[in-house]
Amino acid sequence: MESYLLDWANLLLRWAHLVTGIAWIGSSFYFVFLDSSLTPPVDQDLTRQGVSGELWAVHGGGFYHPVKFNVAPPRLPAHLHWFFWESYSTWLTGFALFTISYLWSAGTWLVDRSVMDWPPGAAIAVALSFLVVFWLLYDAICRWFGQRENGDAIVGALVLALVCVASWLACHWFAGRAAFLLVGAMIATAMSANVLFWIIPGQRKVVAAIKAGEPVDAIHGQRGKQRSVHNTYFTLPVLFAMMSNHYSFTWSHPRNWLVLVLMMFAGAAIRQFFVMRHGWKLGRNRRPLPYALVGVAVIVAVVVWLRPDSNAATPISGSGAVGYPQVQQVLAQRCYPCHGAQVQMKNVRLDSPAALRQHAQMVYQQAVVTRIMPMNNATGITEGERAVIAQWFRSGAPTP
């Protein structure tokens, strides 16, 4: 019953996390586009009000005319919409999902004893420290170097180095699948912390100053904008780290940390293209196509690098047909410990012909295609044994 309830919690939290994440990333993408697409106002009355940019758009059968004030409007409207629950809800649902998916059964999902043999409690503590320590170091980098000349380049280089170190450590301490997700959660935590500790507090100070009739310090908007820009560059790397756990050929590679770093770098480069293209169309900056080409080139290089070796699998002797007795020997050694008479993880048993017949497709997909089973290869299945399962399935998955 516990496994069944956890599956439902996982499904519902994942659903909520996707919905809130779409809302947060969508609003982030929209406002980056809006900032990049604003043009000086044509109406002089808008200029006198302090408007620095405007945009005319058509969507859903209507026309829209958003404007941006330089620092602050002369007076506040009766209703002011704040964008923060998209961020907070995404983080809360994501952390809850991480808790029930990885921390709840840390010995199975977080710990890979062939990588690091340590108690689940220690692994949980270190995993949580990744979220906190990365934010503290990233925030310190932004504080120390963000306002200097060429500060954006310095911050970008140092944050890249920090992400590389964190990725290397995660992949050498945790199961590969968990390591990728942990790095994504680590960066996403920094994104949400940017909203919580910098963007929203700065906006509240601006609003308080306007209500009190005091001069508004432009530094709050500058800092908020800086952190918001960081967040938009983090989005594609985080999305890759989060979704890659479904594709074992990425996190199961011996140099999985480098795979993760390269793919996140490619995502950031492609995001740079989309950030700059709006300004380029207005003649504000140079053509951003090289960034997209670099990102695509890195992805292609990783695809070529990770291509499977056709000679890696151990050939099977004989005519090629594999029957139940042969595959049963593999399953008994590699699968029955978790899906046998004593233990039925996910309510799946494979220790009888009828049960195997029912789950044949799943066994083939998870042991051969996605290679996510056995989890962290805890039972030491070999390439030759995976080939036996593959050939058995292709032979029609025969059972008595």
pLDDT tens by residue, 194-225: 999 999 999 999 999 988 888 889 899 889 99
Statement to judge: residues 153 and 283 lie in one domain: yes
- The whole-angstrom separation of Cα 367 and Cα 364 is 5
182 and 277 in one domain? yes
In the three-class reduction of DSSP (H, G, I as helix; E, B as strand; rest coil), residue 163 is classed as: helix
295 and 329 both lie in a single domain: no
CA distance 51 to 138: 33
Q: Tell me which residue range forms the domain holding 201.
A: 118-305
Rounded CA separation 65/61 (Å): 14
Does residue 47 belong to any structural domain of this protein? no
Total structural domains within the chain: 2
- Is 38 within the bounds of a domain? no
pLDDT on residue 199: 96
CB burial string 331-344: b at 16+ within 10 A, e below: beebbbebbbeeee
| Boundary-marking domain end, from 271, 305, 339 | 305
Q: Is residue 287 part of a domain?
A: yes
Domain boundary among 305, 333, 352: 305
Co-location of 349 and 252 in the same domain: no
Q: What are the structure tokens assigned to 387, written together? A: 């080939």
CB 371 within 8 A of CB 361: no
Rounded Cα gap, residues 197 and 132, in angstroms: 14
pLDDT score at 259 = 97
- Check the CA dihedral 245-246-252-255 and report its sign: negative
Q: Under a CB-based contact definition with an 8 Å cutoff, are residues 273 and 292 in contact?
A: yes
Q: Is there a contact between 45 and 179 (Cβ–Cβ < 8 Å)?
A: no
Residue 30 has pLDDT above 80, yes or no: yes
Helix (H, G, I), strand (E, B) or coil at 41: coil
Which of 63-72, 293-302, 371-380 comes out lowest in average pLDDT? 371-380
- Averaged pLDDT, 88-111: 92
Q: Is the pLDDT of residue 379 over 60?
A: yes
Same-domain pairing of 152 and 201: yes
Q: Which two tokens stand for residue 304?
A: 């070529």
Residue 26 in domain: no
Residues 364, 228 share a domain:
no
Average pLDDT over residues 109-132: 93
Does 362 fall in a domain? Answer: yes
Measured CA to CA, the distance from residue 397 to residue 367 in angstroms comes to 14
Residue 314's pLDDT band (boundaries 50, 70, 90)? very low
Residue 67: inside a domain, yes or no? no
In this prediction the pTM is 0.84
3-class SS of residue 124 = helix
Q: What is the pLDDT of residues 4-29, one digit of tens each?
A: 788 888 899 999 999 999 999 999 99
| Domain membership flag for residue 101 | no
Per-residue model confidence as pLDDT tens digits over 142-190 = 999 988 888 899 999 999 999 999 999 999 999 999 999 999 999 999 9
Residue 38 has pLDDT above 60, yes or no: yes
Q: In the numeric block, which tokens belong to residue 138?
A: 């990233």
pLDDT at 346 over 80: no
pLDDT of residue 20: 96
Tokens of residue 182, six digits: 């942990």
Same domain, 164 and 234: yes
Single-letter code of the amino acid located at 74: P
- pLDDT 10s digits, 229-252: 999 999 999 999 999 988 888 988
> Looking at the structure, do residues 286 and 336 belong to the same domain, yes or no?
no
pLDDT (0 to 100) of residue 75: 86
The answer on 370 and 280 residing in a single domain is no
pLDDT more than 90, % of the chain? 58
Is the separation of the CB atoms in 20 and 93 below 8 Å?
A: yes
Q: What does the pLDDT read at residue 227?
A: 95
* Residue 51 main-chain phi, psi, to 5 deg: -75, 130
Report which of residues 320 and 302 the model is more confident about.
302
Shared-domain flag, residues 265 and 142:
yes
Q: How confident is the model at residue 33 (pLDDT cuts 50, 70, 90)?
A: very high
Q: Are residues 246 and 385 in the same domain?
A: no
Q: What is the pLDDT of residues 40-75, one digit of tens each?
A: 999 999 999 999 999 999 999 999 999 999 888 888
Identify the band that residue 313 occupies on the pLDDT scale cut at 50, 70 and 90: very low
**Is 236 in the same domain as 353?**
no
- The answer to whether residue 318 scores a pLDDT higher than 50 is no
Within a domain: residue 33?
no
Task: Provide the pLDDT confidence category of residue 2 given band limits of 50, 70 and 90.
Answer: low
The candidate with the shortest Cα–Cα distance to 375, out of 185, 175, 181, is: 175
Predicted confidence at residue 1, as pLDDT, reads: 62
Q: E strands of the chain, at which residues?
A: 51-54, 57-59, 62-64, 67-69
Q: Can you give the pLDDT at residue 281?
A: 87
What does pLDDT average to over the chain?
Answer: 90
The residue out of 274, 305, 336 marking a domain boundary is 305
